[in-house]
Amino acid sequence: MNATHLSTDYPFSDDEALAFRPLSFAQLSRGWVAEVRAADLVSLATSVDSARRLGARRGYLSDSAPNRALAAMLTDRPADFGFVGQIVLGADAVRLVPEPGAFSDRIHVIGLECIDGLQRLRIIADAAGCLPKANLEQAVMRIEILCGKERQRARVLYDAADRYQNVSTAQDGLIRCPHILRLMNADWERGSFDPRRGITTGPRGERFTMEEVTQALACLSNGDLPDAANLAATPEGRETLWGNIGSPLYSQLFHADVQPLGVLRAFEAWQRARETLNTLPVRQRQGHGHLIRYAPALICWLACRRLPLTSLHDVKGTYRWDEAISLRLPAATEAAAEVLVRRYREIRPDGGPYKPEAPTLALWKELLNSLPAVDLL
């Protein structure tokens, strides 16, 4: 009999690499698939040279963020640990060994190789010494076992699997937000909204990216502090905002009252304020004026405080938003820049490392602390 086929005609020997009694087991067109408790996989990757011994593509990434998250999941939510993802093993042979009286046969895998899943195996092995056995019993892993030509094919394809994967980002999760879904279904006047593509609107098909929409709504968020605007100003900060759609800061931007008209108003105001800053003379951006270059979101946020932010999404209101944005907001932005730069000079008379300090939330709050009231509009 071909050794790559499931076999019951010869006894279990001492050189088996893995033996387990699966919760389920089935033969597929290209191999076998089994559901196995994590507790039955502990021995596979206990040694420090497990990557070499199992022929894995890379060693254990002990301090990677995904592995830390998986380890925490095995600790706190063991039933979820094996729910997504699988372990792919190569083998010289797979033996089924009937055991009278047992609820299922034992499976023995000979000539074992880890084609994919070493990170999870090492997490399981590390957890065995510090977690209750119940955690490893509750974590059920899906294992695919391949032999012969299918094993060789899988090795080649899994080595290059990253090329074919679209890595998930926090922005992908926005579609789970009910307020985003409502905006997607709203009337955008011959336009549309999608959290990946942003906004396309108007007869000319003008497009605003989700990054721009987020920055605009953060600039005009109805809050007393610039925390949301500070986060929205950087790619990393936007990922933080998007990654927690239940947070108070996220709710300042996307909430039950958000309307397409309000989003467009916010974008127009944010864009107008930014354009105003870009037209300021170069001499105003020297010295402490570097604040204009490295912290424009703070200046725009302060200028927009003089707009009636509580009515941003009021579609029936009488406030003349277009007039305020086009005629009065530029002057307000210039005034905000002047007062903030002056304040920066007062608290840092000797100057400083402008580029790394200017974008920080700590400086923003220090600048705004005890800032004289200025009638910007």
- Comparing 13-17, 190-194, 305-309, 324-328, the range with the smallest average pLDDT is 13-17
Report how far residue 238's alpha carbon sits from residue 213's, in angstroms, rounded to the nearest whole number.
Answer: 11
**Nearest residue to 300 via CA among 322, 280, 283, 320:** 280
What is the CA 29 to chain-centroid distance, rounded?
Answer: 36
The set of residues, in sequence order, having a beta carbon less than 8 Å from that of 49 and lying 6+ positions away, is none
**Nearest residue to 193 via CA among 214, 166, 168, 218:** 214
Report how far residue 198's alpha carbon sits from residue 211's, in angstroms, rounded to the nearest whole number.
Answer: 8
For tokens 């170069």, the residue is: 282
pLDDT at 12: 37
Per-residue pLDDT band for 376 (boundaries 50, 70, 90) equals low
pLDDT at 10: 37
Report how far residue 218's alpha carbon sits from residue 247's, in angstroms, rounded to the nearest whole number.
Answer: 14
pLDDT at 4: 43
DSSP code string of 98-113: --TTSSS-EEEEES-E
DSSP letter (8 states) at residue 7:
B
Q: Please give the helix or strand (H or E) that residue 321 lies within, else none.
A: helix 321-323
Burial class (CB in 10 A: 0-12, 13-18, 19+), 256: exposed
Burial class (CB in 10 A: 0-12, 13-18, 19+), 189: exposed
pLDDT digits over 210-265, tens only?
Answer: 999 999 999 999 888 999 999 999 999 999 999 999 999 999 999 999 999 999 99
**Nearest residue to 33 via CA among 88, 84, 98, 91:** 88
For the chain, give the longest Cα–Cα distance. Answer: 90
Burial class (CB in 10 A: 0-12, 13-18, 19+), 222: middle
pLDDT digits over 7-63, tens only?
Answer: 433 333 444 468 999 999 999 888 999 999 999 999 999 988 999 999 999 999 989
DSSP letter (8 states) at residue 116:
E
pLDDT at 351: 85
Give yes or no for residue 363 having a pLDDT over 70: yes
> Which CA distances in Å does 349 have to 157, 343, 346, 363?
60, 10, 6, 14
**Nearest residue to 109 via CA among 85, 91, 124:** 91
**Nearest residue to 65 via CA among 231, 227, 243:** 243
DSSP code string of 207-265: EE-HHHHHHHHHHT-S-SS-HHHHHHTSHHHHHHHHT-TTSHHHHHHS-TT--HHHHHH
**8 Å CB contact between 203 and 275:** no
Q: What is the 3-state secondary structure (H, E, C) of 12-59?
A: CCCCCCEEECCCEEEECCCCEEEEEEHHHHHHHHCCCCHHHHCCCCCC
* b/e sequence 339-368, b meaning 16+ C-beta within 10 Å: bbbebbeeebeeeeebeebbbebebbeebb
For tokens 């000319």, the residue is: 204
pLDDT digits over 342-354, tens only?
Answer: 999 999 999 889 9
Q: Where are the domains of the chain?
A: 18-164, 170-368
